[in-house]
Amino acid sequence: MGEDVRFLFDFVSPYSYLASTQIRGLASRYGRDVEPVPVLFAGMLDATGSRGPAEIQSKRHYMHWDVVRIARALGVPIEPPATHPFTPLAALRVTGCIPESMARWRLIDALYRAAWVEGQRVDQSEVVVRIADDVGLDGHALLEQATSVEGKARLRHATEQAVRAGAFGVPTMFVDGEMYWGVDSLPYVESLLGGEKTMDPAGLARWRAVVPSAVRRGAG
């Protein structure tokens, strides 16, 4: 068995939700486990000087149509959330306090279902606690850990580490040293796990050697 696939996600992202329903089954076909890593998408945006799709009106409208289309193709239920964007800090921090992967996935699945199928307010601490209790965890104890200095630092560190590794959005998958972004990258993740070489290093070097001859005003 090779290294675990690292799956970076944020509950605010419907694309992360959709990818979360597929990545474990995909990885297991090749004898891999998936390590779920909660990160703060807003922190990534701040670090890279970007804006989320829900913050740009035309992208927001497209996203609504796109996530429904993808969910239908995958056979995954999805409904409009109670509010969006929302603040996922409590949910992310609580999830990050669970060391055991299967228990962490259990809560992740329940929180995603609550947010993106049932329209529950997972931005509210009491909702997160209740959902954690419902899946057999100690929600109050987890919230206490999550709101500690260490709990807050854990999420911040994971986000900073992701940005240093080159991540700029969610979902992001790291597989055998390669980074894949977006639910639409899952077929390429599968190709790599199946042994297909996805990029020639020399070809990649040529692409990275290209320099811009124009810079948009206000960019950078």
User: Collapsing DSSP states into helix, strand and coil, what is residue 6?
Assistant: strand
How far apart, in whole angstroms, are the C-alpha atoms of residue 153 and residue 170?
A: 20
Assess contact for 70 and 122: CB atoms under 8 A: no
Cα three-residue angle 79-113-31, rounded to 5 degrees: 120
How far apart, in whole angstroms, are the C-alpha atoms of residue 139 and residue 98?
A: 11
* Nearest Cα residue to 195 out of 171, 208, 176: 176
Q: Which of 13, 16, 20, 125 is flagged as catalytic?
A: 13
**Token pair belonging to 135:** 């899946």
* Nearest Cα residue to 113 out of 35, 208, 20: 20
Chain position carrying tokens 């929302």: 86
User: Which helix (H) or strand (E) element contains residue 173?
Assistant: strand 172-175
**Active-site residue 13, yes or no?**
yes
Catalytically active residues, by annotation: 13
